[in-house]
């Protein structure tokens, strides 16, 4: 028993150490900063205050932007699920061998390029006289020009593309784990495809779908690069507002407070979903 305890200790220490240095320490420091009345490293003496948190409630546009970021997160997560789940289903249940490996590789491939480069690539595809526009005009020369760059749909397209692989991979792993004999048994008992999907495949793969949705929703709520580059005058999000506090005016306390408010909102949403998740994951 003691030996097992020691090996568990030895195996987990590097992870805990890394998490402490890379995650817990910076977040603790930022949490502390969010209560300061003046920036750290500044000339003014700083005292503890709640003003930075109060600022969020005194200006209407903060709550508007927070709500906008959350809607964006929900929309992107939903679209990723709609596109990603069928793709994962085909990968896990319809394909095998060489084709499956090749397609999985294609799903993972975007991860190998820099996120910024992918976003700039989208600007070339989506702009007027870009690839989409030219393709449409090759078929329908009389169609009006299609340039959706610098609009809200452009932001959504860029983000869905960025996060789709997470959804496909998490769904794929859940779907892989479903025993094929369950499907055969259902079919043997006369269940049709949509019944099998609804009664067996969806419930059993729900954990993958839920994890994929969380992995998409949480980062999208804080996204700032994609909206700024693709969104034009639609490009402001809670993420860009926080970024500006850090880089433009060096108001770290306000930037930190806004980040923690956003984090609080995200955690509250996840907490609301917890009963549903707990039932599905068979926790507790």
Residue of the chain from 6, 16, 135, 203 that contacts another protein (CB under 8 A): 16
**Which one-letter DSSP state was computed for residue 106?**
H
Tokens for 168?
């496909």
* Dihedral (Cα; 235, 241, 245, 247), 10-degree rounding: -20
Q: Which residue number, 49 or 206, has a Cβ lying nearer to another protein?
A: 49
Widest distance between CA atoms in the chain: 78
Tokens for 124?
């070339």
* Residue 247 sits in the site that holds another protein (CB under 8 A): yes
* Residue 116 sits in the site that holds another protein (CB under 8 A): no
Helices (H), the chain: 2-19, 25-33, 51-58, 60-89, 97-108, 115-126, 131-139, 152-176, 180-188, 193-196, 202-221, 225-230, 238-247, 252-281
User: In whole angstroms, how far apart are CA 151 and each of 123, 146, 238?
Assistant: 11, 12, 17
* Residue 67 sits in the site that holds another protein (CB under 8 A): no
Residues that contact another protein, how many (by CB under 8 A): 39
Contact assessment for residue 158 and residue 119, using Cβ atoms and an 8 Å cutoff: yes
Please choose, from the candidates 53, 85, 238, the residue with its C-alpha nearest in 3D space to the C-alpha of residue 170. Answer: 85
* Residue 65 sits in the site that holds another protein (CB under 8 A): yes
* Residue 9 sits in the site that holds another protein (CB under 8 A): yes
Residue of the chain from 32, 64, 111, 274 that contacts another protein (CB under 8 A): 64
Smallest distance from another protein to CB 278, Å: 26
* Residue 244 sits in the site that holds another protein (CB under 8 A): yes
Residue of the chain from 81, 89, 156, 241 that contacts another protein (CB under 8 A): 241
Which span (11-19, 89-97, 99-107, 264-272) binds another protein, by CB under 8 A? Answer: 11-19
Q: Which residue number, 64 or 274, has a Cβ lying nearer to another protein?
A: 64
Which span (15-23, 158-166, 177-185, 264-272) binds another protein, by CB under 8 A? Answer: 15-23
Which span (91-99, 174-182, 185-193, 234-242) binds another protein, by CB under 8 A? Answer: 234-242
Distance, in Å, from the CA atom of 218 to the CA atom of 205, rounded to the nearest integer, reads 21
Q: Which residue number, 122 or 172, has a Cβ lying nearer to another protein?
A: 122
Other CB atoms within 10 A of residue 259 CB: 21
Give the distance, in angstroms, between the CA of residue 283 and the centroid of all CA atoms in the same chain. 24
Q: Which residue number, 39 or 205, has a Cβ lying nearer to another protein?
A: 39
- Sign (positive/negative) of CA torsion 183, 189, 193, 199? negative
* Residue 53 sits in the site that holds another protein (CB under 8 A): no
Interface residues with another protein (CB under 8 A) are 9, 13, 16-17, 20-21, 25, 39, 41-43, 59, 61, 64-65, 68, 120, 123, 127-129, 149-150, 228-229, 231-236, 241, 244-245, 247-251
């Amino acid at each position: 028993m003691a030996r097992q305890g020691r090996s568990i200790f030895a195996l987990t220490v590097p992870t805990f150490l890394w998490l402490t240095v890379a995650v817990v320490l910076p977040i603790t420091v930022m949490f502390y900063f969010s209560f300061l009345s003046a920036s750290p490293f500044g000339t003014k003496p700083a005292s503890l205050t709640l003003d930075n948190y109060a600022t969020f409630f005194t200006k209407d546009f903060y709550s508007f932007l927070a709500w906008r970021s959350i809607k964006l997160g929900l929309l992107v997560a939903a679209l990723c699920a709609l596109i990603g789940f069928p793709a994962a289903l085909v990968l896990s249940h319809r394909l095998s061998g060489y084709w499956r490996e090749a397609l999985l590789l294609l799903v993972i491939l975007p991860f190998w390029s820099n996120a910024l480069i992918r976003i700039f690539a989208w600007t070339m595809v989506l702009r007027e006289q870009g690839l989409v526009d030219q393709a449409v005009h090759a078929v329908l020369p009389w169609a009006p020009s299609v340039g959706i760059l610098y609009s809200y749909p452009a932001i959504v397209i860029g983000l869905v593309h960025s996060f789709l692989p997470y959804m496909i991979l998490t769904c794929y792993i859940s779907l892989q784990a479903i025993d094929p004999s369950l499907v055969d048994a259902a079919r043997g008992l006369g269940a049709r495809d949509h019944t099998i999907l609804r009664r067996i495949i969806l419930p059993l793969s729900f954990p993958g779908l839920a994890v994929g949705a969380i992995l998409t929703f949480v980062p999208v709520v804080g996204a700032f690069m994609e909206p700024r580059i693709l969104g034009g005058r639609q490009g402001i999000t809670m993420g860009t507002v926080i970024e500006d506090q850090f880089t433009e005016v060096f108001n770290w306390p306000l930037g930190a407070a806004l980040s923690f408010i956003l984090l609080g909102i995200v955690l509250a949403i996840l907490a609301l979903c917890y009963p549903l998740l707990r039932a599905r994951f068979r926790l507790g």
